[in-house]
Amino acid sequence: MDTPSPQKPYDRIVLHYAEIGTKGGNRRTFEEKLSRNVAGAVGQYGIGSIRRESGRLSAALRKGADLEAILDGLGRVPGLAWFAPALSLEPDFEAITKTVVAMASQHPDTTFRVTTSRSHKQFPMKSPEVNREVGAAVVEAMGRKVSLGHPEVTYGVQIDKTRAYVHWDRHEGLGGLPVGTQGTLIALLSGGIDSPVAALQMMLRGCRIHLVHFLNRSISTNRVAKKIKALAERLSLFHGPLNLTIVPFEELQREIVMVVPAKFRMIVYRRMMFRIAERIREEVRGLGFVTGDSVGQVASQTLENLRAIRHGVDWPVYSPLAGASKIEIINRARAIGTYEISIQPHEDCCSFLVAKHPETRARLEEVLATEQFDVDHGVEVALAARELHHFDPRGTQRKPGEDRT
Ligand code: ATP
Ligand code: MG
């Protein structure tokens, strides 16, 4: 067994998860879901079969695999705690030692440690002993220094009954749960910074997402739809194939402007968004909604106004950023690559003829009393003109209207 080189490249990737969602007999379902998501995300770059092993998965690397693209893609798969390209070999002490020494020869003059884990309990040596012995062999071969506390390189050794793995290039994953281990949520996606982050948070709890955006076509230029699609495309890299419904909102907004005082309009717009989103939820059998609301951030997000906005919404509304600060949200948006898209200017449908000083403490009865227009009709008109867009991270985007929901 040799160190990775053109002759002897890595042959597998070990894939570790942090959380098994619901306890009980669900590990298998969880692992199968994660395998499928991994295959969907990076299969096209040369991942072969994926095996379920003790407490982890491992994926074969095909000849000519694009390792860089695979590692990059795996960094966006919810449910992975960490992963590393690895060499697989016989679970034999000599072979392990030789392989680690060869691998270590790639990193001269660095401090190191060996960290072994062992599911093969009949293996003749315990993990600390393997660490010591293999470490001593590296010291002897290369004069390298051990650092248990702050090593520059850690050689990971994993010993199973039928095989062992050796790796050093460990990458941190997103953690959380695999998408699809929970049901579907309707994510209300604005063009802002918060809602893409909120949608991703819920993906990391295993939820499937269906995006919905409300668009006032009479005030918006092309760039709004473009921006929303760019956000959806970005989110699909984490989610896998993802649907976005764009709902034209101008007719309802015109009706609202005619009868609702300016200071309440924002709240009524939002209430109508939920009325429409509820219909889409029903169609896709969703189990709730997700929004990017953050308490106190803007006028529509005071506790009173949030209460008025959500009154009448039967299914749960999840707002994972409710308690987050703007700085935290921005950092997260940067990390997931939505920030740069979100800060591009766009015409926001919610600023359409609203008051300079909107109501911040709306009384529910007052808001409801302003809804003197044909809500059901407005909802139907908007729904009839909705467009469905499909985003497939593997590159194909279906044309709008090819199918519904
Ligand atoms: P964001 O940064 O997500 O836009 P925000 O801080 O600007 O949030 P608001 O504009 O009050 O807050 O919107 C609150 C939430 O309502 C958004 O996070 C989003 O979930 C939803 N929302 C607002 N506008 C739209 C829209 N045009 N289409 C779909 N959802 C929307
Ligand atoms: Mg906004």
Residue whose CB lies within 8 A of the most ligand 1 atoms, among 195, 229, 274, 280, for a mutation test: 195
The fold adopted by the segment(s) 12-172 is VC0802-like (3.30.2130)
DSSP result, 217-254: TTT--HHHHHHHHHHHHHHHHHHSSEEEEEEE-HHHHH
Spatial separation of the C-alpha atoms in residues 7 and 137, rounded to whole Å? 24
Res 398: pLDDT: 43
- 205 CA from centroid of ligand 1 (Å): 21
Q: What pLDDT score does 234 carry?
A: 98
Structure-token pair, residue 145:
């220094």
Nearest bound ligand to the CA of residue 297: 1
- Residue 400 reports pLDDT greater than 60: no
* 35 touches 50 (CB < 8 A): yes
Residue 167's region, left for phi above 0, alpha for psi from -120 to 50, else beta, is beta
Domain ranges of the chain: 12-172, 184-391
Mean pLDDT (the chain, rounded) = 92
Best residue for ligand 1 mutational test, from 186, 188, 190 (most atoms within 8 Å of Cβ): 190
For ligand 1, is residue 300 a contact (CB within 6 Å)? Answer: yes
Nearest-CA residue for ligand 1 atom 4 is 192
Decide if 131 contacts 118 (C-beta within 8 A): no
pLDDT recorded at residue 6: 43
Per-residue pLDDT, 4: 54
- 294 Cα–ligand 1 center, Å: 10
| 98 three-state secondary structure | helix
Ligand 1 center to 374 CA (angstroms):
24
Helix (H, G, I), strand (E, B) or coil at 136: helix
Distance 68 CA to ligand 2 centre (A): 35
Instruction: Say yes or no: CB of residue 214 within 6 Å of ligand 1.
Output: yes
Q: Does ligand 1 lie within 6 Å of residue 194's CB atom?
A: yes
Q: What is the pLDDT of residues 114-144, one digit of tens each?
A: 999 999 889 999 999 999 999 999 999 999 9
Fold designation for 184-391: Rossmann fold (3.40.50)
> 107: CA distance to ligand 1 center in Å?
49
Q: Which of 32-46, 238-252, 335-349, 386-400 has the lowest mean pLDDT?
A: 386-400
Q: What pLDDT is recorded for position 17? A: 93
Burial class (CB in 10 A: 0-12, 13-18, 19+), 56: buried
- pLDDT given for residue 348 in this prediction: 84
Torsion over CA: 132, 135, 137, 143 (sign): negative
Per-residue confidence (pLDDT) for residue 7, from 0 to 100: 44
More confident residue, 398 or 290: 290
Ligand 1 contact, 305 CB (< 6 A): no
Q: Which residues of 163-172 are buried (b: 16+ CB within 10 A; e: fewer)?
A: bbbbbbbbee
Which atom of ligand 1 is least distant from the CA of 291?
Answer: 20
Sign of CA dihedral 297, 298, 304, 309: negative
350 lines ligand 1 (CB under 6 A): yes
Distances from the Cα of 387 to the Cαs of 8, 175, 225, 276, in angstroms? Answer: 50, 33, 11, 13
Rounded-to-integer distance, Cα 111 and Cα 147, Å: 6
State mean pLDDT over 19-42: 85
At residue 336 the predicted structure's pLDDT band, cuts being 50, 70 and 90, is very high
Index of the ligand 1 atom closest to the CA of residue 195: 3
Mean pLDDT for 169-198 is 97
Tell me the chain's radius of gyration from C-alpha atoms.
26
**Whether the CB of 192 sits within 6 Å of ligand 1:** yes
Name the pTM for this structure: 0.92
Ligand 1 centre from 302 Cα, in Å?
A: 14
Give me the pLDDT at residue 339, please. 98
State the CB neighbour count (10 A cutoff) for residue 282.
12
**Ligand 1 neighbourhood includes 309 CB (under 6 angstroms):** no
Q: What's the angle, vertex CA 181, arms to CA 209 and CA 287, rounded to 5?
A: 50
